[in-house]
Amino acid sequence: MKSESLLIRIGLALYLIMFFTYLIGPLILMSITAFNSAAFPQITPWEVLSFEWFPKLFNDDRIINGLKYSLIVGFFTVILSVSMGLAGALILTQIWPKMRATYYTIIIAPILVPGVVIGISTLVFWARINTMLGLEPDSFLANGIFLTVLGQSTFIASYCMLVFVARMQRYDTGLTEAALDLGASHVKAFRRIQLPFLMPAMASSAVLAFLASFENYNTTIFTHQKFATLTIVLSQKVRYGIDPSISALAFIIVCLTVFFALLNEVLNRRKQLAVANGAPVEAVTKGFKLPRFFSGNPAAIMFAVFVVGAIAVITFAQVYDPEPAKQVFKEDKRAKQKIAIEVMQQKALDQQREKQMKGPKIFESTDKKKSGENPGQETFGSVFKTDNLEEAAGTTNKTEAVGKNPGKSAFGSIWKSGNLDEIAPKDEKGESN
């Protein structure tokens, strides 16, 4: 009996480890690739620790513009969907009971409708309205930001509505009745009693709405027109060739998420602990007492470690210069390459000799065969070459580097598209429209 429970425990532990590896592992791997100087996001082979992808990210106009549009769209989406969600939830409590189920089904439906469908329907519908009103094809009704806000709000308002409904279920209607008995008008009772009660729900639904808007892809891809939000820009970059500056962005987003999640957890936990100890909340939130802050609060410890780590990494990045290490790495690579080439030449020579011994006919075709026999090595060789050229020539000569090794290998082609992407962002934009 006891051994069986031990077995279950071990099984559970293994399961938990595997599950969370699946959940967190990809994010960690992706973050690590942001610090590899290799031009392709990879962990092995590891080249040199480098922070070069972060400045590259911040100097990317399309990313910065995408961020700007995302923030604009997010702002309006939050306003529209929180107010519609609140209105919808309030009406739900007041609608006559026969209608309630139908009404609820209608306002919950957008969550289940695929985002693609919402995007298309929003676009075609407002284009139709636009022509019906006789407006120009580029009027504000056909504006990408306007359409994206409407499309996203359609289903984000449903999320907000759910948050409000959940909060309202805990509302004590006796409070409103008491206010009415004390002579307040209905309107006043609503504004002074019920609305303040809903404030926390408003805050959390606003956060939820903003995050949902920020990461939305399926709807936005149809409605964004020429205002590519951050998510759209990212998807184009990922599809047409990836480079580690995307990993850098991912790393930043992961860090921000972890930071806010831990912060939220710490604050919640502190309040809970305080209440559990019988202390009024203000007593604990007022003074900053280090030991108590940490006691019984593992999230707080993690939070502190995280902040210290972040500061350490940033300072280190200011001081650290990857160039010497890169030089060493380059030398190393060159030496290895030299050896590889020598080995290859030796091999080829050996083969040639062998074939020479066999007869003159085969000798004629050795040149062709040589390249055919070592395809793998050549692929490798070209990668090294591209890289070396790139490093030697700085950033401007990238096209040249590619031009000199036109599509030699899988690596080469990935490189190429990535470079094209950077050099001719306008072209791509035109394509996507």
Partner 1 sequence: MILKEYFKTNGLMMGWILLGLTFFWIVMLIVLPQLYMFELSFHPHLPPPEMGGPNDYLTLENYKYLAFGAEGNPDGYNKVDLAVFIRTLTAAAFVTVVDLLLCYPIAYYLGQSTGGGFVRLLVLLLIIPYWINEILRAFAFKIIFGDSGVLNEFLMFFAVIDGPIDFIRANVALYAGLGYAYILLMIFPMYNVIESLDRNQIEAARDMGAPWWMIHKRIVIPYAKPGISSGCTMVFMLSAGALAAPQILGGPSSLWFTQLVYQWFNTGGNWPQAAAYAIVLLVACLIIVLSVMKLFKVNMGDIGK
Q: How far apart are CA 269 and CA 302, in angstroms?
A: 13
Between CA 88 and CA 90 the distance in angstroms is 6
Among 1, 3, 96, 361, binds partner 1 (CB under 8 A): 96
Check residue 6 for interaction with partner 1 (CB under 8 A).
Answer: no
Among 48, 63, 73, 150, binds partner 1 (CB under 8 A): 150
Out of 56, 269, 326, 333, the residue judged to bind partner 1 by CB under 8 A: 269
* 137 vs 324 by CB, closer to partner 1: 137
Stretch that binds partner 1, among 27-35, 313-321, 343-351, 355-363 (CB under 8 A): 27-35
Return the residue matching tokens 């972890």: 258
For residue 350, what are the CA distances in angstroms to 100, 306, 355, 379? Answer: 86, 58, 9, 22
Minimum CB distance to partner 1, residue 285 (Å): 20
Span near partner 1 by CB under 8 A; candidates 79-87, 346-354, 386-394, 415-423: 79-87
For residue 116, state whether it binds partner 1 (rule: CB under 8 A).
Answer: yes
Q: Is 242 in the site for partner 1 (CB under 8 A)?
A: yes
Phi, psi angle pair for 253, to nearest 5°: -65, -40
Handedness of CA 177, 183, 187, 190 (dihedral sign): negative
One of 9, 68, 186, 358 touching partner 1 (CB under 8 A):
186
**Applying CB under 8 A, what is the total number of residues that bind partner 1?**
93
Q: From CA 74, how far away is CA 70, in angstroms rounded?
A: 6
CA-closest candidate to residue 122, choices 104, 139, 106, 141: 141
Interface with partner 1 by CB under 8 A: which range of 71-79, 198-206, 232-240, 275-283? Answer: 232-240
- Give, in order, the Cα–Cα distances in Å from 159 to each of 79, 86, 392: 14, 10, 53
Binders of partner 1 among residues 297 to 326 (CB under 8 A) are 297-299, 302
Choose the binding region for partner 1 from 25-33, 196-204, 321-329, 385-393 (rule: CB under 8 A). 25-33
- Figure out which of the listed residues 1, 3, 44, 287 binds partner 1, where binding follows CB under 8 A: 44
Q: Mutual orientation of helices 144-168 and 97-112 as an angle, nearest 10°?
A: 130
Would you state the torsion angle of the CA atoms of residues 129, 133, 138, 141, taken in this order, to the nearest 10 degrees?
-50
Retrieve residue 335's tokens: 């030496």
In whole angstroms, what is the distance from residue 8 CA to residue 91 CA?
A: 50
d(CA 175, CA 49): 61
Selected binder of partner 1 within 257, 345, 356, 371 (CB under 8 A): 257
Q: Give Cα 331 distance to the centre of its chain.
A: 36
Q: Does 362 bind partner 1 (CB under 8 A)?
A: no
Q: Which is nearer to partner 1, 231 or 419 (CB)?
A: 231
Task: Determine the interface stretch with partner 1 among 61-69, 247-255, 278-286, 330-338 (rule: CB under 8 A).
Answer: 247-255
- Indicate whether 131 belongs to the interface with partner 1 (CB under 8 A): yes
Residue 411 C-beta: closest distance to partner 1, Å: 7
